[in-house]
Structure 1
Amino acid sequence: MPLPVYLLALAVFAMGTSEFMLAGLLPDLAADLGVTVATAGLLTSGFAIGMVVGAPLFAALARRWPPRTSLVAFLVLFLAAHVVGAVTESFAVLLATRVLAAFANAGFLAVALTATAALVAPDRKGRALAVLLGGTTIATVAGVPGGALLGALLDWRATFWAVALLCLPAALGVLRGLPDTREAHGTRLRTELAVLRRSRLVLVMALGALVNAATFGAFTYIAPFVTQAAGLGDLWVPVVLVLFGAGSFTGVTIAGRFSDRRPGLVVAVAGPPLMLGWCALALWAAHPALLFALAFTQGALAFAVGSTLIARVLHEAADAPSMAGSYATAALNVGAAAGPVLAGLALADPAGPLWTAAVLVAAALVLAAVNRRAFS
């Protein structure tokens, strides 16, 4: 695998830590800023909405820029948003910084997905994307639990400062590892946008949105679930996050070997257990051993299916070389925006977000079963 793919994964690790870190910080953050936990959950939705809007917008703006210049600029903007977020006393300002950070993250990921796909042969896109998304899964293994622990020992602001510092080596790696070349995209922007009319592309984007809504809906409220439904102390939250992240890394790594040639098999094999796993977690969270085991398996299954759908979006949008990454980013973050909102509506029961996740995965499975040819 080319070295630049790993350098891009390092940057994705920094951004992934920020994207997921609120899962372990919501209760303390809400108390500090004087809002409810459900209101604080809007920070996750705001971030996701920023990703949805920012991905196509920034991809379109940056399509004529050298990729290295674009990626470093997005990282600097991301860093600045976290510095402001770390010092503000206003929930509204914090929400605005999350949206701004999401714009930067969206632009970076859209360019990085396209650049990664261009660095390897067509039959190795799935594996290359698995490495890139490995940055996100490692963030759930190390960055997010570390942030939750840092927040428990100090406060949630310390986690924001830590993410800002992570951006520095990531930017240096991109600056030194990627060539300063300008990609020539002969396809007109209007032509690239026209691929969104394809039913197969719209289908896999919808599936990605549903699966990601389930994952983010459950993951955003994992802290209150662990402490209330499972009855464990605050310091057990990072443990559950580590297990979920370790499963995520395992799932995306294994799926990367099959997503190019057998995407339908990945969805068919991992999808039903993913749905049943959310149900099992909601029912038996009071048993710590089962909680820990399911945290691992749900991470593996969610990211196996999710990463396969990302690869499939890029495959279906191959005729949009500069915009394909933004379509994958936007589709998955439609789910990331909707998931926490829907899960928050069910938060009266600490297990409610998990039941919501199960329903969303069930809807994705029905849609995939009716349209099996999309994976041929």
Structure 2
Amino acid sequence: MFRTTPPSVYWLALGAFALGMASFVTAGLIPMIGQAFNVEVAVAAQLVTVFSLAYGIGSPVVVALLPAHRQRLALLAALAVFLLANVASALVDDFVALLVSRAFAGLGAGVYLASAIAASSAVALPGQRGRAIAMIMTGMAAGTVLGVPCSLLLAERAGWQAALWLIALLAGGAWLGLACSPARLVAGPQIAISSRRLLLSDRKIISILLVSLLAAVSSLGMYTFIAPLLGDPEFGGIDNIAPWLWAWGLGGVAGSLLIAPLAERIEGPLLTLVILLILATALLLLPLAAALSPWLAMLVIALWGGVGWALQVPQNNRLIAERQARGDSNLAVALNESALYLGSALGAGAGGLLLLLALPVWTLALSAGAVALLAALVQFSSLRIPSSEALETGIGNCK
């Protein structure tokens, strides 16, 4: 896998690593930032909100406006915005300015990741697009699992700004590597903004995005409630859940790597269906495993993390395959990332509602598993939806 991967993919993955850190490290910095700017924790927490909103809502709008024949420029510009926004975040002395800089960081991150996934597939060797996309997702997962704890440790010793400087340093390294890379991206066709809206009339694309949304509601939504579940005396009574969170994250890194060869051997829609079924099974078994042994629950959580992160490799691969010829695959990937953010928020909100209704904590995992089964049902039904290529072939034959 590594010997046949173009060097530019590694630089793209390094940028994704920095994105993974930036997406989650702010939550750990909130107490320090609140104290530094003399604001309440609830106010400081809005730094996460503006980053997520800019990432999930703003980035698809920006990607839709970017010219398809300037993919390399868009990629470097997005990473530069992300880099400069993190530098600004570390330098500002006003909380409102910090909010603005985190919004720009989220916007740059969202545009970069969508562009990086599309770019990795463009520079990959024939038949190895899945491996290239898996490398980007591995970088994102590793940044979340390994980068966030390291940056938080650095922040505890050198101040919260040090974590942002580290992110900026990694982003700068990725930018230089990509700028000096000889790889050139194939220019896509120039299409009008009005034509890009037709993407949302594609039944296959809508089905893929719906599956990603439901999977995020299930997987990322349940991740928010690992602590309440394992903290319940009936399911382990664990005080420090850090090892279980590490198991979830390391499972995600492993899943992102191991899915690559499978993505080349198994048809994408079928692979997605299998992953969703495994995800549903893991979530449904989680309460039973936790009741039997916390260590058994750790294995289930690692499996859940593995398939949860791996899912986006065939999903993004399929989106690019469907829309690359039309020049809006970047937009399709950006919409997929938005579906993940929206699904995570919906899952967290729904789980919080279940707890407010005083339902047993195990209903969280069972509900998440049920949503994963619903995603599998949607995926199964989508197997009968003809792809864009098939439709075009059929129309051509009719002519």
TM-score over 0.5 (shorter chain): yes
For 1:183, what is the secondary structure of its paired residue? Answer: coil
Instruction: Give the counterpart of 2:276 among 264, 268, 271.
Output: 271
Distance 1:304 1:177 in 2: 27
Distance 2:357 2:90 in 1: 31
Distance 2:366 2:93 in 1: 36
Distance 1:329 1:116 in 2: 16
Distance 1:152 1:4 in 2: 34
Q: CA deviation at 1:297?
A: 1.7
Q: CA deviation at 1:77?
A: 1.8
Structure-2 change in CA distance of 1:213 and 1:122 (3 Å): farther
Structure-2 change in CA distance of 1:96 and 1:287 (3 Å): farther
Distance 2:44 2:369 in 1: 24
Is 2:17 the counterpart of 1:13? yes
Q: CA deviation at 1:296?
A: 1.9
AA at the equivalent of 2:138: G
Is 2:11 the counterpart of 1:4? no
Please say if residues 216 and 341 of structure 2, whose CA atoms lie closer than 8 Å, have aligned partners that are also in contact. yes
Matches within 5 A, 1:159-170: 159-170=163-174
Distance 1:47 1:213 in 2: 19
Please say if residues 140 and 242 of structure 1, whose CA atoms lie closer than 8 Å, have aligned partners that are also in contact. no
Structure-2 change in CA distance of 1:371 and 1:245 (3 Å): closer
* Overall identity of the aligned pairs, in %: 27
Is 2:120 the counterpart of 1:116? yes
AA at the equivalent of 1:211: A
TM-score between both structures, scaled by the size of structure 2: 0.76
Is 2:180 the counterpart of 1:173? no
Q: CA deviation at 1:262?
A: 2.5
Question: Which is worse superposed, 147-156 or 48-57?
Answer: 147-156
Structure-2 change in CA distance of 1:189 and 1:143 (3 Å): same
For 2:128, what is the secondary structure of its paired residue? Answer: helix
Aligned residue number for residue 212 of structure 2: 208
Q: CA deviation at 1:338?
A: 3.2
Structure-2 change in CA distance of 1:197 and 1:181 (3 Å): closer
Please say if residues 268 and 318 of structure 2, whose CA atoms lie closer than 8 Å, have aligned partners that are also in contact. yes
Is 2:312 the counterpart of 1:306? yes
Instruction: Give the counterpart of 1:333 among 333, 341, 344.
Output: 341
Aligned residue number for residue 253 of structure 2: 249
Is 2:17 the counterpart of 1:52? no
Structure-2 change in CA distance of 1:242 and 1:215 (3 Å): same
Deviations along 1:109-161, whole A, 9 cap, x unmatched? Answer: 22222222222366432222111211112213321232344455566544333
Aligned residue number for residue 221 of structure 2: 217
Q: CA deviation at 1:15?
A: 0.7
Aligned residue number for residue 77 of structure 1: 81
Corresponding residue pairs, total: 371
Structure-2 change in CA distance of 1:356 and 1:22 (3 Å): farther
Matches within 5 A, 1:51-200: 51-64=55-68, 66-86=70-90, 94-120=98-124, 123-151=127-155, 156-179=160-183, 183-200=187-204
Q: CA deviation at 1:342?
A: 3.8
Distance 2:222 2:114 in 1: 25
Distance 2:172 2:362 in 1: 36
Deviations along 1:46-105, whole A, 9 cap, x unmatched? Answer: 433322323322223332564333223222221233344446687765554433211101
AA at the equivalent of 1:209: L
Larger RCO (CA within 8 A; separation ≥ 6)? 1
Aligned residue number for residue 35 of structure 1: 41
Instruction: Give the counterpart of 2:326 among 320, 330, 337.
Output: 320
Q: CA deviation at 1:10?
A: 1.0
Please say if residues 276 and 375 of structure 2, whose CA atoms lie closer than 8 Å, have aligned partners that are also in contact. no
Structure-2 change in CA distance of 1:120 and 1:190 (3 Å): farther
Distance 2:75 2:254 in 1: 27
Aligned residue number for residue 374 of structure 1: 382
Q: CA deviation at 1:16?
A: 1.3
Structure-2 change in CA distance of 1:15 and 1:232 (3 Å): same
Question: Which is worse superposed, 84-93 or 66-75?
Answer: 84-93
Structure-2 change in CA distance of 1:218 and 1:313 (3 Å): same
Distance 1:44 1:225 in 2: 24
Is 2:371 the counterpart of 1:363? yes
C-alpha RMSD of the superposition: 3.8
Please say if residues 68 and 174 of structure 1, whose CA atoms lie closer than 8 Å, have aligned partners that are also in contact. no
Q: CA deviation at 1:248?
A: 0.8
Please say if residues 14 and 170 of structure 2, whose CA atoms lie closer than 8 Å, have aligned partners that are also in contact. no
Distance 2:229 2:376 in 1: 30
Aligned residue number for residue 262 of structure 1: 267
Is 2:239 the counterpart of 1:232? yes
